[in-house]
Structure 1
Amino acid sequence: MTKEDLFYLYDDTETTKTRFVSFMGKTNRFDLALTVSSRFYGKVLVLNLQSNRFAIVGHDDLEEEGYLEHIYQLDEEEAEELREFLAQSI
């Protein structure tokens, strides 16, 4: 397949800012990469480097019940620790 055979929806290059952070909560260690880009409409790409799970997260998502638990496959206590960190960091 050549480049001419592909139908691109977009192909952009952007300079982003990524923060790598590791912290230990009461129940779990978190190793995260938080990437800020204009593409996410004010939200942050949050990658959990241990589980290889990621989501585009904003403050509205932190308020949604069960969101972090589902996306990152965490129990309630682990999700609350992540929620508290992200509320201060994004």
Structure 2
Amino acid sequence: MELFEKLYDENETVKVRFVGFTGGETRFDFGIVYTNMFFGKPLVVCMQTGRSTLLELKDIQDLDFLQAAFKINYADALELAEFFKETLPEVPFQSQYE
């Protein structure tokens, strides 16, 4: 008897962008994984801390969310939001039940 019920097991060739930049007094290094999984939201991984989150343009307007996701201060969250406004694609809503 299996202990786990497999929900999904997908293979996908994805586009990954690695970007490093400085802003103010902080250096940022991110990997951005563009995938069809996760409702089309890119997976953003901080290469310094390993923290990751799914982001879309709507999410970056919430600076509290960015602060919590990456454990950064308000000023750094403002800089990240500006960067991600230019970087992240607009993601159309995708229902998980389609």
- Does the alignment reach a TM-score above 0.5? yes
CA shift at 1:7, angstroms?
Answer: 2.5
Aligned length: 87
Shift of 1:63: 1.3
TM-score by length of 1: 0.89
Inter-partner Cα distance in structure 2 for 1:33 and 1:22: 9
The reply to whether residue 63 of structure 1 matches residue 61 of structure 2 is yes
- CA distance in 1: counterparts of 2:77 and 2:10, whole angstroms: 33
In structure 1, list runs of 5 or more residues that go unmatched: none
- Aligned-residue CA RMSD (Å): 1.3
Task: Give every structure 1 segment of 4 or more consecutive aligned residues whose post-TM-superposition deviation is greater than 6 Å.
Answer: none
User: Bigger CA drift: 61-70 or 15-24?
Assistant: 61-70
**Structure 2 residue runs without a partner (length 5+):** 89-98
Task: Work out whether 1:88 is the aligned partner of 2:86.
Answer: yes
Q: Which of 60, 75, 78 is matched with 2:76 structurally? A: 78
> Given the superposition, is the C-alpha separation of residues 81 and 65 from structure 1 closer, same or farther in structure 2, using an over 3 Å criterion?
closer
Residue in 1 that maps onto 2:22: 24
In structure 1, what is the Cα distance between the partners aligned to 2:25 and 2:81? Answer: 14
TM-score, normalising length from structure 2?
0.82
Tell me how far 1:41 sits from its aligned partner: 2.0
Identity of matched residues, %:
32
Structure showing the higher helix proportion among its residues: 1
Aligned 8 A contact 1:27 1:77 in 2: no
